[in-house]
């Protein structure tokens, strides 16, 4: 099993080493004492955690609504504070 240090992992992920160090608490890794290492599986999980697919456009996996309306168009703002909300 290959183990990567911070500089090696940063190079493999094409990110700054400082980014890895800042986000280490939220990233998969192995820590023995003060030595932090990453496995190939860790790097794949990090990549998957930060992978985004387009939601609109030709490359979107799920097509946009056919009506052309925004997916959140049905939402309305909350009434102002102190204003009674009518139900019914």
pTM of the model: 0.63
Listed residue (20, 11, 17) closest to 49, CA to CA: 20
Task: Tell me the per-residue pLDDT of 46-87, one tens digit each, with 9 for 90 and over.
Answer: 999 998 878 777 777 765 556 667 767 777 888 888 776 666
| Domains contained in the chain, number | 1
In a domain, 44, yes or no: yes
Q: How many whole angstroms separate alpha carbon 3 and alpha carbon 12?
A: 12
Q: How many whole angstroms separate alpha carbon 7 and alpha carbon 19?
A: 11
In a domain, 68, yes or no: no
Average pLDDT score over residue span 3-10: 97
In a domain, 29, yes or no: yes
In a domain, 25, yes or no: yes
Residue 39: domain span = 6-49
In a domain, 12, yes or no: yes
Q: How many whole angstroms separate alpha carbon 46 and alpha carbon 40?
A: 10
In a domain, 56, yes or no: no
In a domain, 26, yes or no: yes
Q: How many whole angstroms separate alpha carbon 47 and alpha carbon 13?
A: 7
Q: What is the mean pLDDT of the chain?
A: 85
Q: How many whole angstroms separate alpha carbon 46 and alpha carbon 9?
A: 10
In a domain, 18, yes or no: yes
């Amino acid at each position: 099993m290959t183990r990567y240090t911070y500089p090696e992992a940063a190079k493999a992920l094409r990110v700054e080493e400082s980014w890895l160090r800042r986000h280490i608490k939220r990233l998969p890794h192995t820590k023995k004492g003060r030595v932090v290492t990453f496995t190939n599986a860790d790097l794949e999980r990090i990549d998957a955690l930060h992978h985004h697919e387009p939601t609109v456009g030709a490359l979107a996996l799920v097509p946009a609504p056919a009506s052309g309306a925004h997916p959140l168009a049905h939402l309305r703002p909350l009434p102002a504070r102190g204003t009674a909300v009518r139900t019914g």
